[in-house]
Amino acid sequence: MDSLKIGVLVKIIILDTETSGSSQEDRIISIAIGEYKNGELLNLKSGFFNPGVSVKQGSFWVHKISNEKLANKPAFRQTDFFTYLESIFSSPQNVVIGHAVCNDLFMIAREGLQCKCKVIDTQFCAMQILKTQKTSLNYLSKEFNLLGKVDSEGITFHTAEGDVVVTFHLFNELLKHNNVQQLIQISMAPLYELMLSGDGYRKQRIYHLAAKDKNVLLPHFKKVKDQKVFYALMYFYGNADYFQGETKKAKILKILNNSSATEL
C-alpha cells in the first residue's frame, strides 16, 4: 500500500465473475470479491445469482454452474454484492484487480454499475512483465508455482472464488517486479490510446473527447462491444469532471493520480 501515493483511504479489491454467456442478453451468475490489504486477501466472499436467462451450454462446460443451481437465487441487483460494489466503483481512488478485468467490468456494467476506479489487469501485466504468451490462470499458477505451499487441491479454476484466490497470488508475484502504482500504469496506459470509430470521432482518443465534452461519449455506451473500449468510456466519462478542459495526456494523468479526487 505504501507504493500508492495518494492522500485518502483506498480500497483495493480483487474480483472475478462467471456469466450465463457472452451474448447481449447474458448476465452475471456468480461473483467473488476479496479485499487486498497488507499483502493479504481479506473478507473473501462469493455468491450465485439468477440471471433471468438460461445459462448457455458453452458457458456451463467452463464453470459447471447449472440453471437448476441458480433457480432460487436472487437477482444480482437485489444483493449486498451489488450495494458493496456500488460503493467501491463510485470512487476514482479505489483500485479493482482482476484477470482480464475489463471483461468483468463490462458484464457488471450490464447490471447498472459503472466503474470509475483504476484497474490492475493481471493478465495484461503478466504478458508485459513475466513475458508469458499463455495467460490462463491455470497455466500461470503452474508456471510460476503461484500456490506454493497452499493446498492447490482446494482451488477450483473457472469458479469466481477460485479465480480470485489465484489472481491474488499472481498479483503478489507481479509485486516482486513492480509496485502497485506501476501496475496501475501498465494496465491503464493502453486505455489512453483507444479511439472511437465512426460518427465523426475517428482518430480522436476517448480521453480527449471526455475532456472537451464528456456527453459525446454517451451514445457509444450502447454501441461498444469491445470490453476495454467500454471500460475506457466508463473511466473517462466518470472522471471527466476532474480534468474538464484539459487535453494534454501528461496533465490528465497527474490529475487522476493525485489526491484531488477525494470521494470515497
**Domains parsed from the chain with CATH numbers:** 12-189 (3.30.420.10), 194-256 (no CATH)
Instruction: Give the C-alpha distances (Å, rounded to integers) separating 50 from 33, 62, 133.
Output: 18, 18, 35
What's the grid cell of residue 43?
A: 473478507
Phi, psi (deg, nearest 5) at residue 48: -120, 150
Closest-CA residue to 133 (of 123, 142, 121)? 123
Query: Which tops the pLDDT comparison, 65 or 201?
Result: 65
Burial 206-237 (b: 16+ CB within 10 A, else e): bbbbbbeebebbeebeeebeebbbbbbbbbbb
Contact partners, residue 158, CB within 8 Å, separation at least 6: 18, 62, 63, 64
Local confidence band at 151 (pLDDT 50, 70, 90 cut-offs): low
DSSP 34-70: EEEETTEEEEEEEEE---SSPPPHHHHHHH---HHHH
Q: Within its chain, how far is the Cα of 61 from the centroid?
A: 24
d(CA 231, CA 247): 19
- When pLDDT is averaged across residues 38-55 and rounded to a whole number, the result is 93
Give the global pTM: 0.91
Per-residue pLDDT, 24:
86
Nearest to 159 by CA among 66, 62, 80: 62
Average pLDDT over residues 237-254: 94
Q: pLDDT band at 262, cuts 50/70/90?
A: very low
Section 58-77 average pLDDT: 90
- pLDDT exceeds cutoff 60 at 64: yes
d(C-alpha 159, C-alpha 150), whole Å: 17
Using the Cα atoms of residue 17, residue 173, residue 123 and residue 62 in order, give the sign of their dihedral.
Answer: negative
Average pLDDT of the segment spanning 190-202: 82
Task: Report how far apart, in Å, the C-alpha atoms of 247 and of each of 192, 205, 212, 232 are.
Answer: 11, 10, 8, 16
